[in-house]
Structure 1
Amino acid sequence: MKVLGINGSHRAGKGTAALLQAALDGAAEQGTALGVPVSGELVELSRLDIGFCIGCNRCLAQTSCALADDMNDLYEKLRDADVVLLASPDYFGTVSARMKNFMDRTRPFHMVENVLTGKVGGALSTAGLNNCGGEGTLALLDSWFATQGMLAVHPRTQGAPLAGGVVATGFAGLSEEGQPQWRSVKADKIGFALARQLGREATCLAARLA
């Protein structure tokens, strides 16, 4: 089983990448438990040369893009993947420009043929504050999965629900003066627990569909 993680952060290898890696680790752990070999890959969009969609509409008649850049390799990775995990930091209540550009460039996959239909997807986000932006980011990522005809997984740990989705935040509480205090998003134990659960549940669903 191939699990592809795509990081839309402008800062490779930082908090969003760590959260996405936790989901990939969860997927590998679940694959071991099920006896299903899992191959995980984390792609950093910030390290790729992906141009903007130019609105040429060539993709109205074909499942490929007229532009020649690193997106061509990513198209093949998306085709081969059983599970696609998208992660983006919250930028003004939605995904980063880099992630939105990636989403725009996947237009060829749902115009003349639904290339990704039936694959499993999962969304992750990092944000500064709790309940303040991450939800919009997850909503747009979920909308992309729906547009592509994919099956989106939403993690649920045992016991009482911990959160509405995978969002790791840098908010560490308020000072005595009522000012926000900050931490690394990597210190958000709930966010990372949900990321691992997302990976596990995505693997379970993909194994059932295989």
Structure 2
Amino acid sequence: MKILAINGSHRKGKNTAVLLGLVLEEAAAGGAQTELVELVDWRIEYCLSCHRCLREPRCSIQDDDMQVLAEKMQGADAVIIGSPVYFGNVTGRLKVFMDRTRWLHMRKNLLEGKLGAALTHAGLRNGGQELTQMILERFLLSHGFRIVEPREPGRPIYNSAILGTLFEGLDGERFRWRKGVLEDALTVAMCRALGRNLLRAGGRDL
């Protein structure tokens, strides 16, 4: 089983990458082949809205890195997308990537039937994670992915989505922050649960 994680953060190796890494680590422990893509390392041009993909499943832009990324998605059994929340939405870099997958969808859903999952992270609790998660899941559903959630049988503390936060609490009116996502025990547990669920959904016995 091949699992591809795509990090939409503008900060390589930081909190969103750590969360995706936890999912991949758990899946790899169960035998999956995993890869993390940091979009900051790739050159992706804006969609031109030229509508070529309405006539054939092909993008008119061929001189950037998007074709390689599309091939990685097509070659994977499962794709996980992660985004931090900068202003109530996916990052600008990730949105450009999402727009450029249009040719994989318009004539035929070339990613139909693959497993998909999403996770988000923000500084504050209720900092836009919920809306961003909905946008990512809607994107995956539009491509025909089957959404996998982190909930596991017999573990009711887990939510239906991974919505990480650095906010820990208040000392009077002063914010108290976690130093990193690994201090968010529930989010860490949910990432690992998602890794196991991807294996289950992919037919792996745990």
Taking structure 2 as the reference length, the TM-score comes to 0.93
**1:187 to partner: Cα distance:** 1.4
**1:69 to partner: Cα distance:** 0.5
How do residues 134-149 of structure 1 correspond to structure 2 at under 5 angstroms? 134-149=129-144
Cα distance in 2 for residues equivalent to 1:14 and 1:127:
12
Cα distance in 2 for residues equivalent to 1:11 and 1:159:
33
Q: 1:162 to 1:178 in 2, by over 3 A?
A: farther
2:190 to 191, 194, 205: 194
How do residues 123-138 of structure 1 correspond to structure 2 at under 5 angstroms? 123-138=118-133
* Aligned-partner residue type, residue 109 of structure 2: N
**1:159 to partner: Cα distance:** 2.6
**1:205 to partner: Cα distance:** 0.7
Percent identical pairs in the alignment equals: 44
**1:164 to partner: Cα distance:** 3.7
* Aligned-partner residue type, residue 66 of structure 1: S
Cα distance in 1 for residues equivalent to 2:203 and 2:121:
28
1:159 to 151, 155, 159: 155
Contact 1:88 1:125 in 2 (8 A): yes
The CA deviation string for residues 20-78 of structure 1, in whole angstroms up to 9 with x for no partner, is 000111212233xxxxxx11000000010001101111111222211121011001101
Cα distance in 2 for residues equivalent to 1:182 and 1:51:
36
* Aligned-partner residue type, residue 196 of structure 2: R
Ranges in structure 1 where 5+ consecutive residues have no aligned partner: 32-37
Partner of 2:200 in structure 1? 204
How do residues 175-190 of structure 1 correspond to structure 2 at under 5 angstroms? 175=171, 177-183=172-178, 184-190=180-186
Partner of 2:76 in structure 1? 81
**1:149 to partner: Cα distance:** 0.9
Greater CA deviation, 127-136 or 143-152? 127-136
- Are 1:13 and 2:13 an aligned pair? yes
* Aligned-partner residue type, residue 184 of structure 2: D
Cα distance in 2 for residues equivalent to 1:162 and 1:199:
14
Contact 1:83 1:203 in 2 (8 A): no
Contact 2:150 2:161 in 1 (8 A): yes
The CA deviation string for residues 94-144 of structure 1, in whole angstroms up to 9 with x for no partner, is 111111111101000111111011000010111112233111111111001
Taking structure 1 as the reference length, the TM-score comes to 0.91
Cα distance in 1 for residues equivalent to 2:160 and 2:177:
22
Partner of 2:116 in structure 1? 121
- Are 1:170 and 2:169 an aligned pair? no
